[in-house]
Amino acid sequence: MRIAVVDPGSGNLASVRRAFERAAAEEGIALDLTVTEDAEAVRDADRIVLPGQGAFAACARGLAALPGMTQALNEEVARGKPFLGICVGMQLMAQRGLEHGVTPGLGWIEGEIAPMDPRGDDGAPLPLPQMGWNRLEPASAHPLLAGVAPDAHAYFVHSYALRGGRREELLATASYGGPVVAIVGRDNMAGTQFHVEKSGDVGLRILRNFLRWSPGARQ
């Protein structure tokens, strides 16, 4: 299986590689994973992964600076190739980000990436970034969540989150001063706000599911 991990200039690329290699080994899948800035590698891959960390605007600029990459992503995802966005990579799937000004995203899912304003029960602000392990609360069944326990926790590090998204594109939330979008998905694309590559057995289960995911097939 050929996987292209797109390098927009920021992301836990070594951690992502190691996590996918372990997930593939556990699934008995021969993996050919390439970390790439080359649009043609995306076209040649069977699956696409877009990690990201830091600011939305910086990641968007990094992606736009890769010749032909945005066009390749749009075309290959439109063709039905499985796609996974991780952290800011998930955020880039949205229509726009509001970090350091307004920056267009890929526009694959509804909503915008807006600053969080979490409050405790007493109304006092909670610390930002939201950092640490939070319980996932599934909103709908999805193949990527198969085998994930109801009390599963994942590792988050972020101060911005999706708002204004469509209910049918929301797969899971977490709670941090209110609901926070944790996983989005539609058709052959999905994204995790949390760092799936740093989320232990839960993250590995999601990656294993991604490797076996056949969008459009009967589940």
Distance CA 203, CA 209 (A): 10
The answer to whether 6 and 49 have CB atoms below 8 angstroms apart is yes
- How far is 83 from 73, CA to CA, in rounded Å? 9
112 a catalytic residue: no
User: What is the longest distance spanned by two Cα atoms in the chain?
Assistant: 53
Distance CA 43, CA 17 (A): 19
Residue 59 known to be catalytic: no
Q: Which of 76, 87, 110, 169 is catalytic?
A: 87
Contact 191, 89 (CB under 8 A): yes
Question: Cα–Cα distances in Å, from 27 out to 24, 33, 212, 218?
Answer: 5, 15, 8, 20
Closest CA to 186 of 204, 196, 171, 174: 171
Q: What are phi and psi of 170, to 5 degrees?
A: -95, 120
Alpha carbon distance 117, 129 (integer Å): 10
The residues annotated as belonging to the active site are 87, 195, 197
